[in-house]
A and B are shown apart, each in its own frame.
Chain A
Amino acid sequence: MVSIKISESKIKKIQEICKKFNNDEGELINILHTVQSEFGYLPAEVQEIIAKELKISVAKIYGIVTFYSFFTMTPKGEHPISVCLGTACYVRGAEKVLDEFKKQLNIKIGESTSDGKFSINCLRCVGACGLAPVVMIGDKTYGRVAPEQVKEILEEYK
């Protein structure tokens, strides 16, 4: 037995989303997408409620959440930074760019800044290899990013 602490409004929202997908187990990934876009992340209690609604095991949901790098159990920043580490970006120096973001913000991959403004994540290929190395902040894409530009890019959001 587990005690799940969660607000009523969150439960209602999750129930609403699950219902939109007919509480269908086959729609689990779509449901997780929608719930994450609603709350920003998928903490344990949210997964518990989804499991209850879909009548599936929470272990299974956790398995899927941890399998896909898109899903996250920690809250993302207001401006989530995604650094592409796909092959093309990697060989053109994406790691140095990533290191510079980590240094500037003083956080590790998967973490958020204490003011909640920025978070850093890595991803594999956004399909813009011609622009490598590629960085995304929110929905905005930056191409051919050099480590020296990082500070400047961050200024846009401060």
Chain B
Amino acid sequence: MEQIKIKIDGKEVAVDKGLTILEAAKKANINIPTLCYMKLDDFNIENKPGGCRICVVDVKGRKNLAPACATECGDGMEVQTSNVRVLNARKTVMELILSDHPFDCLVCAKNGKCDLQKMAQDLGIREIHYKGEQSIYRKDTSPSIIRDVDKCIMCRRCETMCNTVQTVGALSAVNRGFMAVVAPAFEQDLVKSTCTYCGQCVAVCPTGALTEVDDTNKVIRALANPEKVVVVQTAPAVRAALGEEFGLEPGTLVTGKLVAALRRLGFNYVFDTDFAADLTIMEEGSELLDRLTRYLGGDKSVRLPILTSCCPAWVNFFEEYYPDLLDVPSTAKSPQQMFGAIAKSYLAQKLNIDREKMVVVSIMPCLAKKYECQRDEFKVNGNPDVDYAISTRELAALIKQANINFTELPDEEFDLPLGESTGAGVIFGTTGGVIEAACRTAYELHTGKKLDKIDFTQLRGLENLRIAEVDFNGLTLKIGIAHGLGNARKLLDQVRDGSIQLHAIEVMACPGGCIGGGGQPYHHGNIEIIQKRAKAIYQEDVNKPIRKSHENPAIIELYEKFLGKPLSEKSHHLLHTHYFSKENEIIINEE
């Protein structure tokens, strides 16, 4: 690579040709503030519209200031990143952005976590000299996501996530000039769009323009109701990220404190979605083996590959874009819904209460889970298996409201029986984890032999798309793994046209898997945070005395006493589901 020399704030730096001033400055440890710019290196995600003009710098010999994010370094270039001219320009730009922004920071969902707010503070804005018109737009509420476009600064990060990364295509910039907004087609509500509720738009929104639906008050009311037995489940990825909300290093495991906090909030039973993840493996793993055995036995009606179905945004995505492949995904419900179904049947029976008396709350790294638990097929006579799904961020807010000193809490254990889980359940939280957990169990069930090595490291990693082979005692399983819906689309298109032959595919809608979910503490564009969470998840797996789902004693007992065996009639009734086409319907009318 050709090297060039550039001087930034008097400091000489040698950089690869083609780098932007922003990237070169980063190399020289010089921080140039950015607002619309976002880059998640390992996932190949970049948002660089050069639109906000906060990152402008003074380039010697150039008449106007240059946006550092979108200007390539030239040999011998001399750049000043913070002279008076630059600082004044940044302030002016910021004041202009703020002149069309509501002033309700104190009651905004993003208060304290807003990139715009932080930038205003960093730039020392104390007054806005420009009083102009403010754009007013209606609020749009869906089951998972709220759009409050008045707070949009047109950074286009959500558009990049929705279109380039996820290929969902629900959002686009529409209209022009002052009237421009980011909106679904025909400016309809999100519910009428192709939105999968993955929440990646929310994860990257710098302001309060896109936020999750806040269900914390519903949870508080349920907890305060003495008539109700309130049961909580926590997803694997939550324990690897919740600590960040309380100032702990990213990647700090807070499983014990999480349990303690939930108990202090007043939940009657604190259980673990990891238990349901183990249960998912029993069902999904058995389904994989069943399909595989029939396929190898010559049954040509069997559809392979089998697709994982744990991720509700992924389910929404294939219902929208692959209605011809609805018989390919596993029929196994997601762990959240399996948990709800078992809690309101098996556990309710054990506690001798009606399902209506029980409230099931789930703590999820995910916003699509809010939509998922409202789906009609997950209700019995109108009563949902899971009543409320709140995000990791919402739980943090609840803990703060309840005045719980989180970091000082003792480590406590989950309640039994639905709190018993294995390392296989934990790794559901990261890309590659579900299929690894499935392999651990399917291998032993298929071969009747114990695994020498529990870790299937070939299935791990953060590359966008991975194809790996797993040896099942002479039978080579070909496995595809995708995280991010755009990567899933690439894989599914190849399955559809027959250009790739795989036995199983794992898909998680969010980059990194659930650890990078739309309901997790904001990563503010720092990919290291997601990497550290993944590390924490695998650490928790290693810490567990049992690391294979089928060895979970509570699962064994559940099958012995209640379900019979995997794929039994009762299992099918409680733990499996079916899918619907969400494809647009074309009605031919005559003129």
Contacts and interface: CB of A to CB of B under 8 A. Distances in A.
B174 interface: yes
A10 B176 CA distance: 29
B193 A7 contact: no
B176 A67 contact: yes
Contacts of B184: 59
For the residues of A in contact with B, the DSSP-based class is helix
A56 interface: yes
B163 interface: yes
A66 B176 contact: yes
Contacts of A66: 174-176
A68 to B, nearest CB: 8
Interface stretch (B47-55, B82-90, B145-153, B164-172): B164-172
Given A57-B194, A66-B175, A1 B170 contact: no
Interface string A16-49: 0000000000000000000000000000100111
Interface in B211-234: none
A6 B185 contact: no
A52 B584 contact: yes
A3 B175 contact: no
A63 B583 contact: no
Contact of B584 (A1, A56, A62): A1
Given A1-B582, A1-B583, A67-B175, A59 B185 contact: yes
Contact of A1 (B172, B176, B585): B585
Given A59-B193, A60-B172, A62-B172, A4 B586 contact: yes
A63 B172 CA distance: 6
Nearest to A60: B172
A59 B585 contact: no
Interface in B168-189: 168-176, 183-187
B581 to A, nearest CB: 8
Given A57-B163, A59-B184, A62-B186, A48 B172 contact: no
A6 B175 CA distance: 25
B591 interface: yes
A61 B186 CA distance: 10
A134 to B, nearest CB: 22
A57 B584 CA distance: 12
B181 to A, nearest CB: 10
Given A2-B192, A6-B586, A57 B591 contact: no
Interface string B182-211: 011111000011100000000000000000
A5 B584 CA distance: 11
A133 B170 CA distance: 42
Contacts of B590: 7
B589 A57 contact: no
Interface in A60-80: 60-63, 66-67
Interface string B554-591: 00000000000000000000000000011111111111
Nearest to B187: A62
Given A9-B591, A57-B194, A60-B163, A4 B172 contact: no
Contacts of B588: 6-8, 11
A5 B587 contact: yes
A57 B185 CA distance: 8
A71 to B, nearest CB: 11
Contacts of A57: 163, 168-170, 172, 185, 194
Nearest to A47: B185
B537 to A, nearest CB: 33
A105 interface: no
A4 B589 CA distance: 10
A69 to B, nearest CB: 8
Contacts of A61: 185
Nearest to B581: A1
A122 interface: no
A63 B174 CA distance: 4
A58 interface: yes
Contact of A44 (B186, B587, B591): B186
B186 A3 contact: no
Contacts of B171: 59
B222 to A, nearest CB: 32
Contacts of A44: 185-186
Contacts of B586: 3-4, 6, 11, 49
Nearest to B580: A1
B113 to A, nearest CB: 27
A3 to B, nearest CB: 5
Contacts of B187: 62
Contacts of B170: 57, 59
A8 B173 CA distance: 31
A9 B185 CA distance: 24
Nearest to A57: B169
A67 to B, nearest CB: 5
A6 B589 contact: yes
Contacts of B589: 5-7
Contacts of B192: 2
Contacts of A56: 169
Interface string B488-499: 000000000000
B340 to A, nearest CB: 25
Interface string B452-485: 0000000000000000000000000000000000
Contacts of A60: 163, 169, 172
Contacts of A11: 586, 588
Contacts of B183: 59
Contacts of A8: 588
B49 to A, nearest CB: 14
B582 A4 contact: no
A38 B279 CA distance: 57
B183 to A, nearest CB: 8
25 contacts: A2-B584, A2-B585, A3-B584, A3-B585, A5-B587, A5-B589, A7-B588, A11-B588, A44-B186, A47-B185, A52-B584, A57-B168, A57-B170, A57-B185, A58-B186, A59-B169, A59-B171, A59-B172, A59-B183, A59-B184, A62-B172, A62-B185, A63-B174, A66-B174, A67-B175
Across the A-B interface, the 3 shortest Cβ-Cβ residue pairs:
A57-B169, A59-B172, A63-B172
Interface of A: 1-11, 44, 47-49, 52, 56-63, 66-67
Given A7-B591, A52-B584, 16 more contacts: A1-B582, A1-B583, A5-B587, A6-B587, A7-B590, A10-B591, A11-B586, A11-B588, A47-B185, A57-B185, A58-B186, A59-B184, A62-B187, A63-B174, A66-B176, A67-B175
